[in-house]
Structure 1
């Protein structure tokens, strides 16, 4: 019996005696099946091949990013937020080994894991069991959980306070239960996964239904997301791929939403 992991998205599935026929994450319109076909691995195989390590980067006081090198699956990084003896792992990556566990324990362990959306569920149960931490997932995305666990807490509504100063907000858009995390530190820091994605020009963000398949979100959905984010006080924004808006992030999100909507409605350009 093994917990098989999809090589394309990096999401771990429930225990089975043989490889699943398909990955429910990748066969859906927001993801894709590799042109080489569906293939599987396990965490044990990833560790035994000795190809991968997790690199820790100290982004700023209280924030470490963790990224698997070389890249695996979608290639996102996770963030460890150190907040008054309550450490939160924001989003997740597939690879976890003894060295990673030791390093995190040296930083104070993990008291909670929070997920933005199903593409980053990866091996979240392995992480939760390693640190005996609850996993917070919005109930609207319950159907996408591929490995059930008693560690998972399905929350409801538009907001959940994990701890004083750490708040989850359901934003929707990319997924119905798509979530962002607000850290009420200094001027405010927002962690968005790719529910909102920082683009190549770090002064702008974008919003998509599917990034690999280039499917945009409707104008009214983006307007709703922007209005919701306008109620949150933040000055800095981190996405899932080491892209950061370091200053004036709240204003940049609003300007980006207006530009996005103008493009969809045919008011931004004439070609």
Structure 2
């Protein structure tokens, strides 16, 4: 059956999209002016060995990918949304249900009529919040499709690759360290925290005691390890294992400095949370794997492990407690 087309998709279906990161530009496919991607040329990202290439929504739709959704950690207030096969970086967006409306945390490139209809069946979107420029993707398309504002950090304006409509601007710039998200003047209970680090304006999202971290913090394999079974059962995680890494560039493995970690912790330590949820499906919850350390403490411990392995023995963050 031929998929119905919505006007918002038709308007931008021929704009170029970076194949590597999924960012959409204002340049139409018929133009030869765009030869590189602003996002991928930055040392936090990369251009693949095959070189820079571009696609469009029309081309993506012809390949018939599917946006899959599922409940996160048994809490139906949180629904992950990701595209299969992978488009761009392959991150997930997370739809958060609140009593006054739905908020989308982060964004994915691919949007089709089926996804619009599914989200509208849940009540649509009242706001979109994007953690950092790697997930800007097609955010203006999403904002237009759901007639809602999209929040991005004011520090990261230089990475925007499409112009907003001056007659009805969608973007709202977050200038303050914290922002309580409202929908039509009503508080959602969702708080956005600006940690910086990965990008100057990198954000995390605090909702219902869960911390949505994108890759402002990156959950590591050791963070998800279950040490409650097999050899050493009941003894907890081995000492020195981290749960998170903190990087300026993840694909190029360039770490953040202890000073930057200290700034991030100064924000996080003021807030309570019992789980973290990353951009690629890593959900870390208090008590998982037989670990006695709560998630918040594991964030601090991971910062301290990274600081020590960088050669510091007396940095102020090593004296922090949780």
What TM-score, normalized by structure 1, do the two folds share?
0.94
Structure 1 residue 201 and structure 2 residue 222: aligned? Answer: yes
- Secondary structure of 1:62 counterpart: strand
- 9, 14, 20: which one aligns with 2:26: 14
The CA distance in 1 between the partners of 2:142 and 2:223, in whole Å, is: 31
Q: Tell me, in whole angstroms, the C-alpha distance in 1 between the residues paired with 2:281 and 2:174.
A: 27
Out of 149, 153, 158, the position equivalent to 1:143 is 158
Matched, 1:173 2:197: yes
Deviations 1:212-262 (A, max 9, x none): 001111111112212211111111110100001111221111111111111
Cα deviations by residue, 1:99-144 (Å, 9 ceiling, x for unpaired): 1111111111111000100000011111111101101001000110
For 2:42, the equivalent position in structure 1 comes to 28
**Maintained 8 Å contact 1:62/1:83:** yes
Match of 1:93, SS state, is coil
Deviations along 1:146-192, one digit per CA (max 9) or x if unpaired, are: 01222111121211111331111111000001111111x2xx11111
Partner of residue 260, structure 1: 306
- In 2: Cα distance, 1:192 partner to 1:132 partner: 25
Q: Deviations over 1:24-54 (max 9, x none)?
A: 000010000111111000112111222x100
Q: Secondary structure at the match of 1:75?
A: coil
Distance in 1 separating the partners of 2:120 and 2:284: 29
* CA distance in 1 between partners of 2:126 and 2:312 (Å): 47
How many residue pairs match? The answer is 263
- Where do 5+ consecutive residues of structure 2 fail to align? 1-11, 225-242, 287-293, 314-322
Return structure 1 stretches of 4+ with deviation > 2 angstroms.
Answer: none
Root mean square deviation of aligned Cα: 1.3
Q: 2:68 is matched with which residue?
A: 55
Structure showing greater radius of gyration is 2
Question: What is residue 69 of structure 1 aligned with on the other side?
Answer: 84
